Chains A and B, each alone.
Chain A
């Protein structure tokens, strides 16, 4: 089937008018939900996500508990109304997989050894999906963990790079994900210099991957700065002028 969608125009602009190395507008806020210990809301372009953290609390069901460290229970879920065609209720295979990769990304920064026989619940709820939900989900989840006062080595931030019409682009949206050639979500703990999530859907050469990673790393640093700003804004009143 011949593709009719042209993803990059003659001026080198993308479908939403961005340059290849440009992020979508990002907005985030910490402490948005009252009943959780920590929470965050994030908007990346059309993607909207809430994250909530509970704990550390007692493990339920009991048999999951570990004697030497905390268990992180992560649930990534998309609302039925978050996509064009109604998503059936319940966890799909995709959501179960994303819950696992999110959990593993967060486990690598949280000091789980400090809370033996405890559980930390992380809920990521996608309200509106427009590409990059797993990366925005990780960014929101790590902000919610920090808001919940859970000790961690660094804030995790994430974005995706992709290959569209043969060009490496940053932070791909839904259209570019659907019709582009490759999609590579990257999550990093930038101050530790470690990559905590890396997936690739499609084909990229080694050079393209390293170019993409470099692009992602710079963007992740920017995203982390917004996380820090959101956290500082949340506690500005309490800290009373003192810098958090």
Chain B
């Protein structure tokens, strides 16, 4: 779909990535159309991350104030983490720490992270991918990320904002994982992606064993 393309004559079926005009639904973004529960949505193929409530995001601590921590979510978005008063922070965070947290609210007042379930990521390689491709990296019910975990033996933290941390025991396993992530980002919406990822990981493993 491209912006302005007609999707449906029934204006009630307008979902994300679409708009209605004179009772008809049109696409507002470049993307792939999908019908979910009778609602038409356009899954965008590009675009920056927009924080939404409930998203699990990864960020870098950029500022620490008495009861407030500022976190950079990439894409020039800064989120705020408010720590409960008169309580020592559960984790000792310093500048430059990488954390994972849930978005509590997002709107005119800014983006707030939920201090509950906050996680500090201690080690790994931080990489950035296009946020529009994150759902493909996770896969249906986490199938793709489970596959990567199984095949490479690495641990993954995937932020909805496009920041991903890969942590493995060996450099070559981390390399294989990052190569696979790059492949997924490049060919996000193509068919037979899973097979190609398996093939890539296999060939990388073969190189390692023979070399």
Residues of A within 8 A of B (CB): 37-38, 55-58, 67, 109, 111, 116-117, 146-155, 189, 191-192, 227-228, 231-232, 235, 237-242, 244
Contacts and interface: CB of A to CB of B under 8 A. Distances in A.
A149 B49 CA distance: 10
B188 A228 contact: no
Interface stretch (B21-29, B57-65, B118-126): B21-29
A72 to B, nearest CB: 15
- A-B pairs, 8 with minimum CB distance: A149-B47, A240-B190, A154-B4, A151-B28, A149-B46, A57-B76, A191-B4, A240-B191
Nearest to B4: A154
B187 A151 contact: no
B3 A244 contact: no
Given A111-B28, A244-B45, A155 B2 contact: yes
Contacts of A67: 108
Contacts of B29: 146, 149-152
Contact of A37 (B21, B26, B32, B47): B47
Contacts of B190: 237-241
Contacts of B53: none
Given A57-B76, A244-B45, A153 B3 contact: yes
Interface in B113-159: 132
Interface in B177-202: 186-193
7 contacts: A37-B48, A57-B75, A58-B76, A117-B108, A149-B46, A152-B28, A153-B3
B188 A154 contact: no
Contact of A244 (B17, B19, B32): B32
Interface string B6-43: 00000000000101010000101111100000000000
B204 interface: no
B2 A153 contact: no
